[in-house]
Amino acid sequence: MQVRILGLLWSLAFLQPPVPQEKTKDYFPAPKGMEWVYEGSWRTRGDTTVVVGTEKVDDETWTIFETKSDDPARGDTWTYYRIQEAAVHLVATAPKGGKPLERLKEPLLLLKLPLKMGDKWKLTPDSKEPECSVDAPERVKTKAGEYLCMKVVSGDSAWWYAPDVGLVKSTRSLGSKSESNRTLTKVTSPPAK
């Protein structure tokens, strides 16, 4: 009898519904066709960034972002990212069209995921740049809407990322009383398939 009860309990253990796992927030969404429009100040004019697709490079998948600048002197560029569950790396840049590809000597660790307050990392293992760190969540109001963002800080620069939106705002101090800003004015997700 005791064996049957233990057997029944054992089988019931496998019939329990699975414990729901918390979905990791996507602070760097990159579906093909997603588009962000930014306005800038002082040294950075506005720009539009669009995910144009992916490319296989050395057994890795890189996601390509095309940035169309409002500043003719900057021109349009493609930026290549290696987006993984635990990190986002900037791996290469190129003029619009992707040629010639300028691969970074060492990929830059832009984001350590998931973004958690207090986390710290270096852009590269040998980086002389200040460490990146994640501050407390902040509400950021833009022309595109109001977002609860995670703030990433490194030296005189800061970036605000919102779940399922990506980069909402960035600032960089350029010396005494001067600052360069970039703020989201519009975000468009591709239509669901």
pLDDT of 136 higher than 70:
yes
Calpha distance 160→164 (Å, rounded)? 13
Tell which residue, 64, 120, 71, 121, has the closest CA to residue 91.
Answer: 64
- Looking from the CA of 65 toward its CB, the CA atoms found within 13 Å total 25
Domains of the chain by start residue, with CATH: 25-188 (2.40.360)
Per-residue tokens: 103 = 């691969």
pTM for the model stands at 0.82
Q: What would the mean pLDDT of 88-111 be, rounded to a whole number?
A: 88
Tell which residue, 76, 78, 75, 77, has the closest CA to residue 55.
Answer: 78
Q: What would the mean pLDDT of 158-184 be, rounded to a whole number?
A: 87
pLDDT of 94 higher than 70:
yes
Quote the mean pLDDT of the chain: 83
